[in-house]
Homo-oligomer: A and B are copies of this chain.
Amino acid sequence: MDRLIEIVLADRRGRVVAVDERLAPLTDRLIAFVAGGGKRLRPRFLRCGWLAAGTGPEPAGLGTVAVGLELLQACALLHDDVIDRSDTRRGAPSTHRAVAGEHAAAGLLGDGDHFGVSAALLLGDLALAWADDLFLEGSLAIGPAAVAAAAPVWQAMRTEVLGGQLLDLLVTAAPEGDPGLAAADAMAVNRWKTAAYTVERPLHLGAALAGADPECVVALRRFGVDVGIAFQLRDDLLGVFGDPAVTGKPAGDDLREGKRTVLVADARAALANGGVASDPDGLAELEAGLGAAGADTERLAAIVHASGAPQRIESQIARLGESAAATLDTAGADGRPVLAEPARDELRELLRRATDRRA
């Protein structure tokens, strides 16, 4: 994939450098970010969507669309890190921090932090524009019917993930209200910002490019929603209880950032509800400490743990996993499996990884 990304982006890189050679280092930084990391989940789900349709072997254009998905994700990460003011990404400085760090060393003028944010903003825009280029190039290479079938899916995916990001912004800024509503909001952000965009829509996109029938698309999307939500719930647990050596993020990072996850919303609701886990002091301590500078994240993690939330989230992940596994074996009107065989094996493996991972 890394090599494919460099090949596919070579002529686009050339066009930026043709504007001015001094743009090469920033452009190469973006390409290295895309080529160098991530779990490649979206390309794998895209490929499974294609294979599930049983249309035949993957065409070369599918790889181009896959690079487009990775570029879309690069835009989301660069811009999210600016919005969340995150200093690190994948265990290294985030793009805006890295560029800010080079500002002084290069003897540039002005506010280095703002320079870093501005560069990350524009590089994210470039990634988003290139993502669209590659979706169109790849699907045109597959054929005109592929463009017509896949364009609405690609378009819906982009609008949904941006809607999810805007909702995250609003929900994070909203005054703390009813913990039950907070859990519903956290789940809606999860649904649109992560689940649809990481699993459901890449599967759907691959199936649409392959000309899959509606039964196949429905099954893939149902599987995708379950796995996508489970994936994010696992992320919530890792963000509080994950091993920094494996996740590449500091311990308790979500608590330090005050992220409004389903896990934390569940803990707040349990602590507030007057039941067995009720603990007004713990609740007050948790709400005061979330996102506060210098908060004791080990103590906050212990409060979340004592609320019973982690076990409930684990059960939810297990239920979603069972539902997804059942969808994989769906039989169609003709009694045969709706999803073609090689896709089902790979999807079973991806389901296991999404729900059971440590990083």
Q: Hey, which bits of chain A sit against chain B, CB under 8 A?
A: 12, 15-16, 18-20, 22-23, 26, 75, 79, 82-83, 85, 103, 107-110, 114-115, 118-119, 121-126, 128-130, 132-133, 136-137, 140, 144, 147-148, 151, 155-156, 158-160, 162-167, 169-170, 172-175, 188, 192
Contact = CB atoms under 8 A, between A and B. Distances in A.
A23 B144 contact: no
A19 B132 contact: no
Contact of A16 (B123, B124, B136, B159): B159
Given A128-B125, A158-B129, A118 B83 contact: yes
Most-contacted residue by chain B among A147, A148, A159, A192 (CB, 10 A): A159
30 contacts: A12-B159, A15-B156, A15-B163, A16-B166, A19-B163, A19-B192, A20-B170, A22-B170, A23-B167, A26-B166, A75-B125, A79-B122, A79-B125, A103-B173, A107-B175, A109-B172, A109-B174, A110-B173, A119-B169, A122-B162, A122-B169, A128-B128, A129-B132, A129-B159, A133-B155, A133-B158, A136-B136, A136-B147, A137-B151, A140-B147
A307 to B, nearest CB: 23
A109 B182 CA distance: 15
A19 B167 contact: yes
B173 A20 contact: no
Contacts of A172: 109-110
Given A128-B125, A144-B144, A108 B174 contact: yes
Contact of A173 (B12, B109, B156, B192): B109
A167 to B, nearest CB: 5
Contacts of A162: 16, 122, 125-126, 129
A15 B82 CA distance: 25
A23 B166 contact: yes
